[in-house]
Structure 1
Amino acid sequence: LDVKVLGVSSGLALDTIDCAIVHYRQATLDSPLHMKLIQHDEAPVLASVRMPILNLLLKFKASPYSMGQINELAGQMFSTAIKSFLDKHEIPPSTIDITSAQADALPPLGTRGKDGSGSQYPGWGTVIARDTAMTTVIDFRMPHHQQNRQRHALVELTTGTLLRHPVHLRACLNIDHIANLCFVRPASNGAAMASDCGPGTMFIDYAMRYCTSNQLQNDHDGTWGAQGTSNDSVVNHFMQSHDYFNRAPPARMVAEMFGEHEAQALIDECLFRNMSDRDIVATMTRITAANLVRQLKKWIAALNAPAPAQKIELFLCGAGARNPHIVDYLTAHTADIVAMQSWEDIGIRSGAKKAVCAAQLGLEALLDAAVRERGERPTAARPGRVEGSIAKAKRWDEAVEKVVRFG
């Protein structure tokens, strides 16, 4: 097997698009699969591009015709990022077998509006394939999981593939718009387990937009927060009244409603206390970090009661993993149970994890599609089986032929 996949990914906020080219090689069916990260980059998405999409997503359930607009705009957004990435790094599109795109904010292709419409529109993957002339896979799903478990199941599959160790228990804390925690048991114990655990950068991003009148969208490097002082009373009050361990809201609810309501309530409390803009951002950052520590400790206690035999190896990713205050707070308050690890130690550049996971899903979907092209029936019961919606373009036949020849 010798396949190159361009993985592209964007989170719930649609504020950045990550791109990564991954080269997969496997000598025989019985030999290990080798992957090499060829190139990675991140592109910010302008508010003028993403806000129309987010606004249409809010209206989608009531509006029967917005899905077509969403797909066109989202496809153009990804296409622009892909072409810019390839041009910047002087990579010919002809060297890529397939593009694999993932967007947490976009609904599955089969999602319908209240009147039952919506699914008849061409998917955003079709727009990417049209604009880039590259076969594109989107809308990943695992047939043996229910719809409400799909997002976590895909995280468990990809993170488990990257992090599984023969003897060590590992975990990945993805600090994106919302935070997601995935525990990967040693190879002998098999399964991984993923769960949302409250706000990631969501509160900080909202505070930055509020405090700068939308001039700045985030504080990923922690500069604003470092210039302020967090208010312990606000932090303690929030932590006493909010615990996401047993009642983390669904991701879409977080993105559309919960985050803004809670963030605005926090800002109102800070303004009542006459806090400065930078103090507000510092307080939001401390709340985020404190909640992540609480969630991490509770999940570790639940999985390893009464105590783990060794420290859990923790890998951080997402925009929040670049914020020094969050990382330092996590390190200081979990040092007795967690050993911080670097993605570079396992051959993945910092920040590339989500795009690499998108590439992995694209490979799995290609393998599944090749079985169908060969006239065989996929084994639905296979736990790791992944399906995807494929918009065929150049090199599709060649990519399938590579898989078929491999066996």
Structure 2
Amino acid sequence: MSGTSADGADIAFASFSPVRGNIACRFRSFYSVPYPRDLRERVLRISEAREADKEELCRLSMTLGDFFASALEKAFAYLEIRPEEVAAVGCHGQTVGHYPVKRRGFLKETGASLQIGEPSFLAQRTGITVVSDFRPADIAAGGMGAPLVPAFLGILLRGRGCFSSFQNLGGIGNATVVSPQGKVLAAFDTGPGNLLIDGAVRRLSAGRRTMDKNGAWALRGTVQEKFLAGLIRGDRFIALPPPKSTGRERYGRPRLEKIIASARKEGLSREDLLATLTAYTAETVRLAFDRYVLPKWPVKEIFLGGGGGKNPALAAFLAARMPGLKIRATETLGLPPQYIKAAAFAFLAYLALCRQTGNVPVATGGNPAVLGKISPGSRGTFMRVSPPS
């Protein structure tokens, strides 16, 4: 899995099995391989370009496929896992464009989303069947292609004895609300996650840093409330009702450059800008819950996932703005925060091979659909998958 932050490949080894009409999941190991700097820059350039270079897009897809295969081979070697032990690989790929707003297609209006990273490299190099390209099936079924993690979160948060929520804080923030019985009640993007924070750090450090590690800059700064209020007023996305989805197209480099220019005009220090951008993410989450979640469901806890789940400043800002809710770490669920999505797409691969639907209509707005495309491996190991009863 590589998310909107485009920082590398996160790999989760998980197993799924049917148990009394439900699906049990177990997590074995986790591994990450960062993108080399030049590869990350290529991904960011193509993701933020208004017009894509066709040859570069084609070659980058092959390069990423080769990188994903290499990353998995490194994981096998480091974790001492044999490819023969793995039934299938779920590969989300790298998103380079996500346009959920529907426009006229051939016969009907449709959204669009593109993930690259040729899965054939994984299938050829490992011999394992690969399931990839999950989002188009939901779009073809009338959805936005996102968010797709909620089906997995319903399994993960089932049986907690209260209404729970999961707030992903990857490049983009998204919320999922789950009933005590594991039913997904709502899921939608809330606004920026780490995207603006990471982008500002790269810009202000001239590329020497890629993130605000441990929220250090933000914790040394002071939130500039007037500047924050202007960011909220200028963000039309957060006022939209669910279901809704967004991406780098809204919160990428053009938006960041305007924010940095305004911050310099207002005389904000580096630390104050990072504190304010971190508070911006926290405030979009608070507004989403106040408007679209808490009036309907008595949510008691929020689990934080994604890279932002490891940011103490962001967790502290959320706790201060949402004092009625318990902020929890995903480690208590058996998963480090940065591997939630990797585990989720392993789960979606399992569902696809079992011919089970993987999208949640209340989340994407689409009809139920089996997600993903299959690249057969030479081992034929997908035959070992046991479908839910």
Q: TM-score, normalising length from structure 1?
A: 0.78
Question: Counterpart amino acid of 1:11?
Answer: G
CA shift, 1:282, in A, is 2.1
Corresponding residue of 1:400: 383
Is the 8 Å Cα contact of residues 157 and 384 (structure 1) preserved in structure 2? no
CA shift, 1:169, in A, is 1.6
Quote the Cα distance in structure 1 between the aligned partners of 2:321 and 2:300. 14
Quote the Cα distance in structure 1 between the aligned partners of 2:373 and 2:270. 45
CA shift, 1:179, in A, is 0.6
Matches within 5 A, 1:13-92: 13-26=5-18, 30=20, 32-58=22-48, 63-92=53-82
Higher Rg of the two aligned structures: 1
CA shift, 1:266, in A, is 1.7
Q: Tell me, what secondary structure is at the counterpart of 1:216?
A: coil
Matched, 1:333 2:339: no
Matched, 1:219 2:212: yes
Determine which of 253, 264, 277 is the counterpart of 1:284.
Answer: 277
Quote the Cα distance in structure 2 between the aligned partners of 1:265 and 1:60. 17
CA shift, 1:289, in A, is 1.9
Q: Tell me, what secondary structure is at the counterpart of 1:130?
A: helix
Instruction: Please give the per-residue CA displacement for 1:80-117, whole angstroms capped at 9, x wherever unaligned.
Output: 22122222222222221111111351469xxxxxxx9x
Corresponding residue of 1:164: 158
Is the 8 Å Cα contact of residues 47 and 248 (structure 2) preserved in structure 1? no
Question: Counterpart amino acid of 1:266?
Answer: I
Higher alpha-carbon deviation: 219-228 or 94-103: 219-228
Question: Counterpart amino acid of 2:119?
Answer: G
Q: Tell me, what secondary structure is at the counterpart of 1:245?
A: helix
Instruction: Please give the per-residue CA displacement for 1:319-342, whole angstroms capped at 9, x wherever unaligned.
Output: 111111110121122122x22333
Quote the Cα distance in structure 2 between the aligned partners of 1:243 and 1:227. 29
Question: Counterpart amino acid of 1:391?
Answer: S
Corresponding residue of 2:110: none
Quote the Cα distance in structure 2 between the aligned partners of 1:145 and 1:270. 38
Matches within 5 A, 1:243-254: 244-247=237-240, 254=247
Matched, 1:10 2:2: yes
Quote the Cα distance in structure 1 between the aligned partners of 2:255 and 2:136. 33
Instruction: Please give the per-residue CA displacement for 1:5-31, whole angstroms capped at 9, x wherever unaligned.
Output: xxxx1111311321110122346xx45
CA shift, 1:400, in A, is 1.0
Please list every run of 5 or more consecutive structure 1 residues that lacks an aligned counterpart in the other structure.
1-8, 109-115, 117-121, 370-382
CA shift, 1:37, in A, is 0.5
Q: Tell me, what secondary structure is at the counterpart of 1:70?
A: helix
Q: Tell me, what secondary structure is at the counterpart of 2:190?
A: strand
CA shift, 1:216, in A, is 0.8
Is the 8 Å Cα contact of residues 365 and 388 (structure 1) preserved in structure 2? yes
Matches within 5 A, 1:168-183: 168-183=162-177
Quote the Cα distance in structure 2 between the aligned partners of 1:210 and 1:58. 15
Quote the Cα distance in structure 1 between the aligned partners of 2:315 and 2:347. 27
Corresponding residue of 2:113: none
Question: Counterpart amino acid of 1:24?
Answer: F
Quote the Cα distance in structure 2 between the aligned partners of 1:270 and 1:387. 43
Corresponding residue of 1:268: 261
Corresponding residue of 1:3: none
Determine which of 305, 322, 333 is the counterpart of 1:346.
Answer: 333
Question: Counterpart amino acid of 1:69?
Answer: R
Corresponding residue of 2:127: 133
Determine which of 175, 180, 194 is the counterpart of 1:201.
Answer: 194
Q: Tell me, what secondary structure is at the counterpart of 2:212?
A: coil
Quote the Cα distance in structure 2 between the aligned partners of 1:300 and 1:255. 24
Higher alpha-carbon deviation: 56-65 or 354-363: 56-65
Higher alpha-carbon deviation: 82-91 or 54-63: 54-63
Is the 8 Å Cα contact of residues 142 and 386 (structure 1) preserved in structure 2? no
Count of residue pairs brought into register by the alignment: 362
Summarize the Cα distance change of 1:15–1:250 in structure 2 as closer, same or farther, 3 Å threshold: farther
Percent of pairs identical after alignment?
22
CA shift, 1:40, in A, is 1.1
CA shift, 1:250, in A, is 7.3
Tell me which stretches of 4 or more aligned residues in structure 1 moved more than 6 Å. Answer: none
Q: Tell me, what secondary structure is at the counterpart of 2:95?
A: coil
Matched, 1:238 2:221: no
Quote the Cα distance in structure 1 between the aligned partners of 2:205 and 2:186. 38
Q: Tell me, what secondary structure is at the counterpart of 2:32?
A: strand
Summarize the Cα distance change of 1:258–1:289 in structure 2 as closer, same or farther, 3 Å threshold: closer
Corresponding residue of 1:390: 374
Q: TM-score, normalising length from structure 2?
A: 0.82
Is the 8 Å Cα contact of residues 27 and 335 (structure 2) preserved in structure 1? yes
Question: Counterpart amino acid of 2:229?
Answer: N
